[in-house]
Structure 1
Amino acid sequence: MLHKTVMLIALVPSLALAGPKEANEAFVKGQAAYKAKSYAEAERLFRKAVNEDSANAQFRLPLAKSMYKQKRYDEAIHELKQLIKIAPTMAAARYQMALVQRKAGMASPLPADQTAYLKEAVGFYKGYLAVEQQDPDGYYGLAETYRLLGEARLSISNYERYVELEKRPKEQKYVKKAKQKIADLKAALAGGVVAGQKPILSKAAAPYHRKIAAQSIVQGDSFRAAGNASMAADSYRDATLRDPKSLEAHFKLGGVLAETGDLKGAQTALLAANKLDPTSEPIKGNLKKVTETLAKVGEKKKEEESGDLATGLDLLSKSQFEQALISLAKAADAKPNHHAVHLALGTCQLAMDNRSGALKSYGRALVLRPDLSLAHFGLAEVYRLEGDRDRAKSHYNSYLASSGEDRNGAYDDQARNRLGVLGN
């Protein structure tokens, strides 16, 4: 059902361009990055747009989707909650929330968490379908969620509604899948396997579920052989949910997730496999590799973040402001609580006459480090240029009264001269 994701992102442009210029520019660049599957970069740009115009619902939806694409489900859920507060009638937000909750439930290793996420997904699918009653995707998603919860009859009725509504030629493969799932669920009901509507996630796998899990593994193997790692992962994950004791399913899920770069997911799957068989050398070997790679990725990320600040400062010293701005913006996204990053970013923005941006950056630096002398000086410069004499004088005086280690003799003289002109 990938077309729904594409459709939602495509709905945004015509509505989003009512925001500030900087926000719109970041939004457009974010769309390009998203289309290129550069989801981390897309997230950074969409976050910038949201920071510039936090009330614009159309900016926050793709931000959540970028997080979802990186499998950071809880963060995506948080953003979507904020979005729904801003735009409670936005059907697309409820659809996306339902999808993320369902995927979070499938990815969670704990049965209690799985059930909680999936029940939340049911509620959001129902909310979406109350508005979009003829959208087949909503029924398919709801059917999938009920199936994972073991609610066979409800799952069947929603699959049937999906089959009835789905007329798009490119989606007929899902119609075929839905019909097969209807047949499987009806067979299970006839055999009494799912009687009582007990969630399949929280009980030991019955023979039927072990059989279906085995079929999912075979299907995953086929997808993997065809180079479709994403579909393979979904199949293996389905197998682990149906049969939590399937060593093969957990092991293969860990392998394919590692191939796609989802190292945390791979580690979780391999830990589950290792718990089932602590003596397996292949499992221990793969788990060790994934854990070591995760550690290296973390170290590299720290180096890159430090490099962004160092590069930005170097470019700033050479008056290469546009290039410096790119590096410093990345550093600010990576280290939102680092006062030096925001101070440097404010200086760069002031040099480019982006006064509103400089005010935000200097202000943020001062919040993080109240004794930061140069932040007061920077704010004074901005207010002076804005013609706000009182605030400019206040910050020049705060700078001169400060005892921060970043005090500079040249700035001391400049601050006194400015105050003389302003009439302190």
Structure 2
Amino acid sequence: MTASKVLTIINGWLHPHHADETVPLPNNPPEPHQPIQPASGCAGYQIGIGTILHQQQKLVEQLNEQLNLPAELQQLFDQTLDNLTHWLHLLPAHPQHHCEPAGAIRHALETAFWSVTAMQQIHRDHDLYPDQRRAREPLWRLMAGVAGLLYDSGRMTSCLVVQQSSAEQPTEPWPALQQPLGSWLQQHRITQYSPHWKQCDTDPVKPLTPEYTAINLFLLPQLTPRAFCNALQPDGDNGTLWQTFVSALTGQKNGHGVSQIIHAVELARLKSIKLHFEHGQALNQITKPVKVKGQPEAEKDDERSWLKQIISNLHAENIKWAKESLLLPWPDAVKSEKTPEPDILLRQWNQRGWLRPVGNQIVFRRNGHLVIALQPDISRQCKQWLSTESITGKQHDQ
């Protein structure tokens, strides 16, 4: 896409057409292939970003655990998240998914979570020494997290018109590409507003088009702190980090970026959407059986999840805790011949976001034994599967 085309697109968003559809709030979200149906609007009101993010506190904590960033890099991510929340406020993400107030922020957090999770399985920096690769790992996690967080921002700001709900002298609609929605509400002392969809013909399960992802670059300097760009361009770097980030943000591969990460960000967006249709939230897959290649369909449907089987068979002496995470001896916890290979389970559980890395390691050593740690939410679910003897076991804190 040429620069002139990008400017043409941006100009179109700066001078939008009148809205013709409102945000639907269905009890049961339609399937992705169904057409968008007009419905009542999703009303919003002025609220602080702290209150919005508090509603997503568990997901934010899980995302931060996956990021595992040093303080200076965590601050860059937190500032970006605050900026995005201030910009999108209580907007929904799409007429067909995450339609609730602040659904856009929920969808962004989920996409960031799955982007970071997938990135940990992708090899990069092959030409560097091991100590150099370890030093750059936090930068890669920051890059994947911010790319996932902002990936859908261009489409959401482009497809919505926000107007004051009722007033004797109504204001102009929210200038979505020029000012955060939170600032606009404060400036005009608006207490209630109504978002409406413009023509939004993007099928949520198809990749985002360049017309939307090009807007991400326009919003980038307004959503990220100045130090973020410098952080992704360290001294002596050949530009791989920054090129991968820009390519992931636009969905356009180039010769300098790590193509697997670029693809992973789009897949993370789709995962958030598909899990929303299935469960209503992205981190709620725990009760579904893990599907193993080659296993008969009947067994896939009838058997309990492998995780439930493994937890139920644990002995009291094998139950260890680190803060709120259940530790499993690995691969010793997988003893049954009916379960898949430990490597298969490890890959599937990590892809689902069930594992809590320590440092940058999924399998790590504790008290001389190899173990894996489950995410706190998953660990709490596992408690009901432990035998009575195991539940009474002492929980150990790190």
Common topology (TM > 0.5): no
With normalisation by structure 2, the TM-score equals 0.24
Higher strand share: 2
Return the structure number with greater helix share: 1
The structure number with the bigger radius of gyration is: 1
How high is the TM-score relative to the length of structure 1? 0.23
